[in-house]
A = this chain, B = another copy of it.
Amino acid sequence: MKYLFVLFFVTLASTAQVSQESLNLMPWPQKIEFKSGNFALNAFFKVNVTGQPNSRIFVAASNFLRRLDGRTGLFFKQGFVTSTNEFPEAQLQINCVKAGKIGLYEDESYQLTIQSNVISIHASSDLGAIHALETLLQLLQNNATSFYFPNVTITDMPRFTWRGIMVDAARHFQPVDVIKRNLDAMAAMKMNVFHWHLVDDQGWRIEMKKHKVLTDKASDGLFYTQEEIKGIVKYAADRGILVVPEIDVPGHASAILTAFPEIGSKVVTINKGSSETTQKASGLVTYSLERNAGIFTPTLDPSNPRTYQLLGEIFDEVCPLFSGKYFHIGGDENEGKDWDANPKIQEFMKKHKLANNHELQTYFTMQLIPMLKKHQKELMGWEEIMTKNMSKEAIIHSWKGPNEGVAAGASLVNAVKNGYKTVLSNGYYVDLMQGVEDHYLVDPMPKNTVLLPEEQARILGGEATMWTELVTPQTIDSRIWPRTAAIAERFWSDATVTDLNSMRKRMKVVATRLEELGITHIRNKEVLLRNISNYQDTAALQTFSAVCEPLKIYSRNAGGIEYQVYSPLSLFADACTPDAEDALQFNQLVEEYLKNKSVTAEEGLVLFFNKWVQNQKDLEGISKNAPLVQPLLPLSKSLSELSEQLLLKLQKKSEYKATLAIELLEKCKSKKHADVELAVVTGLKKIVEF
């Protein structure tokens, strides 16, 4: 009888219909239909491809098998998928009508149908089929002993055609393996544009055959060979991703000018011996690679024909490395100081009737359009390139917002109203260490502005930007992920998908699975903490990092000179991340406690306070043999002492000292220690003040 009961229970479990809430899909698909039953996996599972796909589907199908292998330990007998119709009887059938092309406006839709005996993917092209395989991997379920997919039909397509990540490989060089694993993660999140910021004040990162001086003098030996670049473009294309390279001009030019000072705008006043004659001498100016962070003056000379000759030669060599249609030329943050001070440039402006630096920059940028056209590339630039004379073919990259003293993404509306295509990055600056909700709720489509349909159509999508002033190859993954998974959902899913609790729950699961693609956000945190603890027990550091977040919005490394591009950034702040693990839960517990004084909430708070009191002792313990732990002690001490007070307050003990609590709360708000801030201050404040 017992045996029968077990059997019955298993049958029940395996035919039960999954609920929408139980699925951890991200980005959330456009449409899901649930059926009863499951598709059970075993080692004989095979994949078959039909139709006329691009060969990237074979890479994707083989990788899909291996990832499913790794998770399930089933180790399917099928090795590499290499051609169409290898196994007509396979349980997974992938049909692609045609070969997908890497670029915008491609049909990326798919339909995924899971039935108990067969799984089928139908897609217009391999691009959609690749997305379907990622959805399928996210659908994997298990019970105690086996793995299965729930019977569902998913019909899906992206909301925006540009779903990008920018990686700054100039400030901190990011090696090939970093780029590749992040391309894998992008594909897992159905993102399709990799914007590669290759040149800035801190370095030139492209091997040049003709002008070897660029890497010889301006890369510290850290650059991508042309073969590596072509390899990455291919790797990206195999994952449905377009690569958009960026060479930032005319500002951010320290690296270029370190190699070619003769095309710089700077002039110096020199005193010639005893005659004391003074002359402007641009030929004597030298530049050097920037080691710090900030906005710097070195700028190309737009009045010098040699500038355009060199840029033309550079584009002639760089453009063919990239198969995509777009080339980003930067154009941001040129303050024009060296232009103002250069008489030759001032004369040039008068002659060409250029009223101001903005018009001069437009003149400069317009010269680049034919250089790119020659290689079938269209120009893209940061929003500063948009002035009245700028070609309407250019794509405007909207990035400014309140940090720059303007309304969030104001240039986006201007751009589409003026006939430009545009991509939004304001609101998606993941380097600013903000919480995920700050990005998730930003929509590329402006909410309070009425746009005509054709104007809306010019909003291509958005792009998360990973600037690397404070980001090394060791920490970059934890700065991009998992928050960018939520941004990817914004770019792909319906505009109405905005539930924060659902997003957080799904992001947490999806984040763990990024590990199988080599993403290091979890493992490298542990590496950093082990080093900080001097290879003692890291538990106390883990506990403290669960309430600490790195300083946000340009407040770390203020002035840009505390850390240099060669600083390894192995500090506690580098191990911490936004969305500190315990903070949300603590702050919510406080809300709950204040609302109804529930015993459960009080017990939860007591647990937290006791943990923090104990943790200060533990941190002090390991600090005796770990200098890198010392800087954390003051903030941890404040949290510990405030916790002691709040324990007294909760227990209504007379020993509670209200003024001391207020003092300690102020200390807990400090941003002066170890480059971190306490993410539980909101909750602490409410408890102190109630």
Residue A390 lies at the interface, judged by CB distance under 8 Å to chain B: no
Could you tell me the distance in whole angstroms from the C-beta of A14 to the nearest C-beta in chain B?
Answer: 13
Chain B residues with CB under 8 Å of A568's CB are 66, 69-70, 75
Contact across chains for B623 and A144 when beta carbons are under 8 A apart: yes
28 contacts across the A-B interface (CB closer than 8 A): A66-B568, A69-B567, A69-B568, A70-B531, A71-B531, A71-B570, A73-B571, A73-B627, A73-B628, A75-B568, A79-B291, A79-B564, A142-B626, A142-B627, A144-B623, A144-B626, A144-B627, A145-B630, A175-B177, A176-B177, A177-B177, A225-B231, A512-B535, A515-B527, A516-B531, A520-B523, A522-B526, A523-B527
Which B-chain residue is minimally distant from A78 (CB atoms)?
Answer: B566
- Is A44's beta carbon under 8 Å from chain B? no
Complex Cα–Cα for A192 and B578 (A): 43
Q: Cβ of A75 and Cβ of B564 under 8 Å apart? A: yes
Question: Number of copies of this chain in the oligomer?
Answer: 2
Report the minimum CB–CB distance from A1 to chain B (whole Å): 22
Say which residue of B145, B571, B624, B625 sits within 8 Å of A627 (CB atoms).
B145
CA distance A69 to B628 in the complex (A): 11
The chain B residue with its CB closest to the CB of A291 is B79
A454: Cβ under 8 A from any B Cβ:
no
With both chains docked as a complex, state the minimum distance between the C-beta of A667 and any C-beta of chain B, in angstroms.
Answer: 21
Flag if B627 contacts A72 (CB, 8 Å): yes
Interface assignment of A387: CB less than 8 Å from any CB of chain B:
no
Q: Give Cα A66 to B524, complex, Å.
A: 17
| Closest CB in chain B relative to A581 CB, distance in Å | 14
Q: A220 to chain B: which residues have CB within 8 Å?
A: 79-80
- Kindly identify which residue among B515, B530, B564, B566 contacts A522, using a CB–CB cutoff of 8 Å: B530
B627 touches A75 (CB 8 A): no
B interface footprint on A215-244 (CB within 8 Å = 1, 0 otherwise): 000001000010100010000000000000
Cα A77 to Cα B291 with chains together (Å): 10
Whole-angstrom CA separation of A512 from B538 in the bound complex: 13
Question: Complex Cα distance A146/B175, Å?
Answer: 32
**Is A563 an interface residue, CB under 8 A from the partner?**
yes
A residues 192-206 touching B (CB-CB < 8 Å): none
How many angstroms from the CA of A392 to the CA of B563 in the assembled complex? 58
Q: Is A308 an interface residue (CB 8 A)?
A: no
Q: A70-B568, A512-B535, A526-B526 are in contact. Are A563 and B144 (CB under 8 A)?
A: no
CA distance A73 to B627 in the complex (A): 9
A530-561 interface code vs B (CB 8 A; 1 in, 0 out): 11101100000000000000000000000000
Most central of A524, A527, A624 by chain B CB within 10 Å: A527
Q: Which residues of B contact A531 (CB under 8 A)?
A: 70-71, 515-516
Cβ-defined contact, B523 with A566, below 8 A: no
Check B512–A566 contact: CB distance below 8 A.
Answer: no
Q: Is A296 an interface residue (CB 8 A)?
A: no
Interface residues of A in 628-650 (CB under 8 A from B): 628, 630
Is residue A315 within 8 Å, beta carbon to beta carbon, of the partner chain? no
A509 proximity list for chain B (CB < 8 A): 535
* Shortest CB distance A80–B (Å): 6
CA distance A285 to B147 in the complex (A): 42
Complex CA distance for A291 and B80, rounded to whole angstroms: 11
Beta-carbon contact of B627 and A146 below 8 Å: yes
Closest B residue to A628 by beta carbon equals B73
In the bound complex, CA of A532 to CA of B516 (Å): 12
B75 touches A534 (CB 8 A): no
**CB nearest neighbor in B for A67:** B568
Q: A175 vs B181: C-alpha distance in the bound complex, in angstroms?
A: 13
Interface centre among A532, A535, A566, A624 (most CB of B within 10 A): A566
Distance of A70 Cα from B73 Cα, bound (Å)? 37
With A and B bound together, what is the CA distance between A4 and B531 in angstroms? Answer: 32
Bound CA–CA A516/B535 (angstroms)? 12
CA distance A630 to B145 in the complex (A): 7
Q: Which of A30-72 contact B (CB under 8 A)?
A: 66, 69-72
| Most B CB within 10 A of own CB, among A147, A177, A291 | A177
- A630 CB contacts on chain B under 8 angstroms: 144-145
Interchain CB contact under 8 A, B526 and A147: no
- A478 CB, nearest partner CB in chain B, Å: 13
Q: What 1/0 mask marks residues of chain A from 565 to 578 whose CB sits below 8 Å from any chain B CB?
A: 11110110000000
Q: What's the Cα separation between A535 and B516 when bound, in Å? A: 12
Contacts of A73 in B (CB 8 A): 532, 570-571, 627-628
The residue on B at minimum CB distance from A518 is B474
A528 CB → nearest B CB, Å: 9
Contacts of A625 in B (CB 8 A): 142-144
Which residues of chain B have C-beta atoms less than 8 A from A146's C-beta?
A: 627
User: For residue A66, which residues in chain B have a CB less than 8 angstroms away from its CB?
Assistant: 566, 568
Of the candidates A516, A564, A568, A630, the one having the most CB atoms from chain B within 10 angstroms of its own CB is A568
Please, which residues of chain B bring their CB within 8 A of the CB of A175? 177
Bound complex: CA of A145 vs CA of B629, how far in Å?
A: 9
Which 8 residue pairs are nearest across A and B when measured between Cβ atoms? A523-B523, A70-B568, A177-B177, A70-B570, A75-B567, A79-B566, A512-B535, A69-B568
Which residue of A175, A623, A627 has the most chain B CB atoms within 10 A of its CB atom? A627
Q: How far is the CA of A624 from the CA of B145 in the complex (A)?
A: 8
Complexed CA–CA distance, A530 and B227 (Å): 36
Q: Are B75 and A563 in contact (CB under 8 A)?
A: yes
Q: Which residues of B contact A515 (CB under 8 A)?
A: 527, 530-531
Encoded as 1 (CB less than 8 Å from any B CB) or 0, chain A from 138 to 156 comes to 0000111111000000000
Q: How far is the CA of A568 from the CA of B68 in the complex (A)?
A: 10
List chain B residues, Cβ under 8 A from A566: 66, 79-80
A626 / chain B contacts, CB cutoff of 8 Å? 142, 144
